[in-house]
Structure 1
């Protein structure tokens, strides 16, 4: 039986890695990283119908991804088990972000699931605990749970909220899927970049250590970077495949977007200090008995 309350849409924003340095490797094989996670004002949306049964269902079909392999399902199941929740949920996804694009689509979806269901199921877990659970699903999930632009270290779980200018970004998808495990498994991947202090950060002094490897494996990414860099400072985000260009105003970003070849897809978004997901949580908490 499904509750008749009209579900809310919960934001699941994109992110950019404004830089990504690989500074070493742990004994367990995980890479030691430094990165700047910029939350964007654009992304997917998820809606949750709370059910009296304990089943978890995703009504939106993800091509090539079994329901139980979806990070949304895994996040809901993890929270349900951890808190001993007897209720379930049916989940709708308004999917806008590309999979395998390096802009955090799956990790953001998982974080939104944790945050929304923690509220809707009345679990009462703290943000710290949700972030801890999220780390079991992926290194990027805690950033989205905390919902702030952040300087990240470790495997991405050591997060320091930071404030930077709200630049505009043209984010372009070359239409390919890049395997993160394959890139991190490359023998030639740089793994000894010197660590830096956040106070020393500038875009010009940093880079993406994965970019050269991805460009060798995927010439379309190299082609896209060569095109964008003529207009603005540009870089690949995460392990790709998406590439972003940085602008100080929206009009210039959209002007360049209009020049893009039709075979590349794109969107323009603004960097925000506070995630739309955090704003939604604030909004629902301000309305008594919404769930």
Structure 2
């Protein structure tokens, strides 16, 4: 695995969540977040790819809290929760991921000791059509995403908000207002104002990044970090859908910061690098480092 720094290019209220008892995050404490996308394949290959990615992301001298964020589970991504927890525990990292369970998969979290950390989160919206037809589901996601809702998890001192795959479709781009982003069925509502990090973990690649970028610019407004991660479903390099650019993306303060193809530009207070598996092309990760003062709850 190696880090890539490429040239700059144009940017294409509910039940309270369980909290771990952790020391308060220091304002000058450095936090490292690693968003990892993996190519589909056998369990042994996936385990090795995740391990190699985290070996490159974290070194023995990496200071401060460590947080690993993974995409949604698919049948071609057979990593059991015990494997995920074991790999992250060996890297002293907290982790947010979707448990691999056919038909009833759910999002959960573990701290560095492997203890449960939060409630089970299931996906409620898959696409914009469902979001249009089922305003009650949109309102449910808004309630889950409000302060104190189970859609926010406390990981290693950082509050992380979660949208499951197509749930980003509760946001819409208003073409009549220059693609202004608003919450579907409730234009005056806001989303995840109380967190510094928002994760949209997906199962498959998404299209129309013109509209999607607008949504992630919205989610990263106000000096927030918004991360999109999905699986790379191409089984080998050179197949359709191989590119990592649409598999992992980071936005900060309303702008695309980096994707799997490289870093787009510097942002004050946030350092980002791309870790790419050039030898086997089995994984790609964005490694983001920021001070605790930026990542504290709002």
TM-score > 0.5, shorter chain as reference: no
TM-score (norm 2): 0.28
TM-score (norm 1): 0.28
Q: Which has the higher helix share?
A: 1
Larger Rg: 1
